[in-house]
Amino acid sequence: MPKLLTVMHEFQIHAANQKLDQFYWVWTWVTAIPIHHMIHIMDIFFNKWQEVLYHWLCSSANFEEVRKWYSGWKDLLPPELLANQHIFHRLNVGLDMMNQAVDGMEVVQPGLRENISYPKVCEQTQFEKAAAQAQERASQLQGSSGLEMSLKEVIEVHAQQNCLLFKPKAGRMQDGYQIYGFGNINVVIDSLNRKVFAQIDDRWSLASLEQLLELHNRSGIKQH
């Protein structure tokens, strides 16, 4: 599983001149790996796939070429995956994006979930500043050599500074992202884009470091 996850994380998806070697490496294991593990791997694929499709549709794409690209990928998926409701849903998200483009509507950018709350630019800027401040505080406390910390390390230090537990929740994922417990709340970390999302009821919303603390303080849910 770790090797297949690494392969899928490294796999690059393109609108043209697609190389499929790594995809086939994963594909050959589909009957040997439990379906819930394979879905985890495929979520990594679909996150990339939907992002490529989104940018293609936003660039005055030839819809016939897009349709063939979509059908080509769908035909590559083995029956065991096509029969799964979750995989069917991920494909339908792409189909919905294509229909939006054909109808002249604004294509909805794919996210962690369809009902995700996207931040305003100023909110993201505030988050980045808060993360930088947290890293600076952590460096001062730990005598860091000045190397940049990962977003996960920044959040971990932020939790420690507020006497909160921060740890991964075994076996719990959200669209290919590991779910962590930050005190009483659930969070996922998009390290590539340096964003952290907190679960609020049934929604995943971008949150600043301060908001993570506020959400924990407001939560009456016991850690589990």
Read off the pLDDT of residues 128-155 as tens digits, 9 standing for 90 and up: 555 555 555 555 544 544 445 678 888 8
Torsion of CA 27, 28, 29, 30, to 10 degrees: 50
Read off the pLDDT of residues 28-70 as tens digits, 9 standing for 90 and up: 888 888 888 888 888 889 988 988 998 888 887 788 898 999 9
Coil, helix or strand at residue 89? helix
Q: Which residue has the higher pLDDT, 124 or 9?
A: 9
Q: What is the DSSP string of 47-75?
A: HHHHHHHHHHHTT---HHHHHHHHHHHHH
The structural domains of the chain, with segments of one domain joined by +, span: 2-102, 121-218
Q: Which residue has the higher pLDDT, 13 or 115?
A: 13
Q: Which residue has the higher pLDDT, 131 or 117?
A: 131
Paired strand residues for 193: none
Read off the pLDDT of residues 12-34 as tens digits, 9 standing for 90 and up: 888 888 888 888 888 888 888 88
What does the block give as tokens for 164? 């909160």
pTM reported for the whole predicted model = 0.50
Greatest extent of the chain over all pairs of C-alpha atoms, in Å: 57
Residue 79 burial class via C-beta count within 10 angstroms: exposed 0-12, middle 13-18, buried 19 and up: exposed
- CA–CA gap between residue 179 and residue 130 (Å, rounded): 21
- Alpha-carbon 130 to chain mean position: 21
Q: Which residue has the higher pLDDT, 131 or 92?
A: 92
DSSP class of 117: B
Residue 104 makes CB contacts below 8 A (sequence gap 6+) with none
What does the block give as tokens for 70? 């979509």
Residue 108 has phi, psi (to 5 degrees) of: -75, 120
What does the block give as tokens for 103? 């109808």
